[in-house]
Structure 1
C-alpha cells in the first residue's frame, strides 16, 4: 500500500458528503497513536511518511485471534458504516478496489484491529522497498471504547498515555 503523509483509510460512500472529521489526526495523537474513526471512516497513521508499507487485510465474521508478539502496536477501534460500504483508500482519494468491501454485514457498527510493526524504521526509511508492516482486521461488533492491546513503538511511547480515558466511538 502506498501511503502519503503517513496515512491510509477505510471510507464509506457518505464520508465526504455527509460527515467531516477534521480532528481525526489530533485524536490519534491524543489517543492510541495508531488509528481513529468516526461515521464512515477510519484513519490509520503509519511511520512511513511517503512510500510503500506492507498491508494485509482481513474481513472477519467475529473477533480475530489475539495478536502475535511480533506486532509492536495493536489497537481496536469502533466505526459505524451508515451506507454498508467501507473500502480501503490511499491519501488523495484513490480506492484499493481489490481489497473489497469491509462492511460485510451491511450498515452498522464494526470493530477494526490495526496491528503495526516497523513504524520506527518507516519513519527514517527512504527507498522503494517497505520496512513497515500493518495488518488490518474488520468484523461486525457493537461500539466499544478504543482498546490498546500493545503500544511499543516510539510513536506510541511518545503519544499514547494509558492514564488517559480511551477514545469513545463517534456516533453518526
Structure 2
C-alpha cells in the first residue's frame, strides 16, 4: 500500500482541538472525558471507539497539519518534533475522518481506516504548541503530523514530551493510558 499524505496550512482549530471521528461515534459511543484524559495522560491526544481528540496549543486559529495513512508503523520521529505520542483507537464503522471543532470534516484528507473496521495506532507529532498558545493571527506557528496505521491495541506511548504543556501535564510515573474497547 502506498502512503497517502495530505497537508494543510489552514487547519482550523477551536478550543485547541481537532479530531479523527468515525461514522458511529455520536450515535453509538459517548466519551465525555476525552479532554480530561489528555490533561491527565500523555498531554497530546486521547481516544476511544470511533474517535481521537488532539490538543493543540493554538486556542482558536490555524495550524499546519500533515496527515499520513500508513500500511505499517512509520519511522521514529525526528528531533524537530517537541511532543510525540502513539495512541490506539478502534474503528467500528470502517471510517475515520479528520474533523475540525464544530463538526466540519476535511474530506480531502481521506478515510484513515484504510483496513476497514478494526484497531489502528495513531502517532501525533507536534511542534510549536508553546508559540501557538501565545499567537494571534492567521499565519500558523504550530505544526502537527498525524500518522495512522492498522495495529493491535496497546497502551499509549509517549516518545517525547518537551513543550510547556507536556511538561506541566505529562507525568511519566503515571501508568500509560489504556485503549478503550468498543
Q: Aligning the two structures, in what range does the TM-score lie when normalised by the shorter sequence?
A: over 0.9
Q: How do 1:14-53 residues align onto structure 2 when only pairs under 5 Å count?
A: 14-53=24-63
Question: Alignment length, in residue pairs?
Answer: 172
Which of 26, 48, 72 matches 2:82?
72
Residue aligning to 1:8: 18
Q: For residue 165 of structure 1, what is the aligned residue in structure 2?
A: 175
CA distance in 2: counterparts of 1:121 and 1:21, whole angstroms = 29
Distance 2:117 2:150 in 1: 10
What stretches of structure 2 of length at least 5 have no aligned partner? Answer: 1-10
Rounded to whole Å, the distance in 2 between the matches of 1:146 and 1:18 is 23
Find out whether 1:155 has 2:170 as its counterpart.
no
Partner Cα separation in structure 2 for residue 165 and residue 32 of structure 1 = 10
Q: Give the gaps of 5 or more residues in structure 1.
A: none
Query: With structure 1 as the length reference, what TM-score do the two structures score?
Result: 1.00
How much has 1:164 moved relative to structure 2?
0.1
Distance 2:175 2:30 in 1: 24
Runs of 4+ more than 6 Å apart: none
Aligned CA RMSD, in angstroms, stands at 0.2
Query: Which of residues 98, 111, 134 in structure 2 aligns to 1:124?
Result: 134
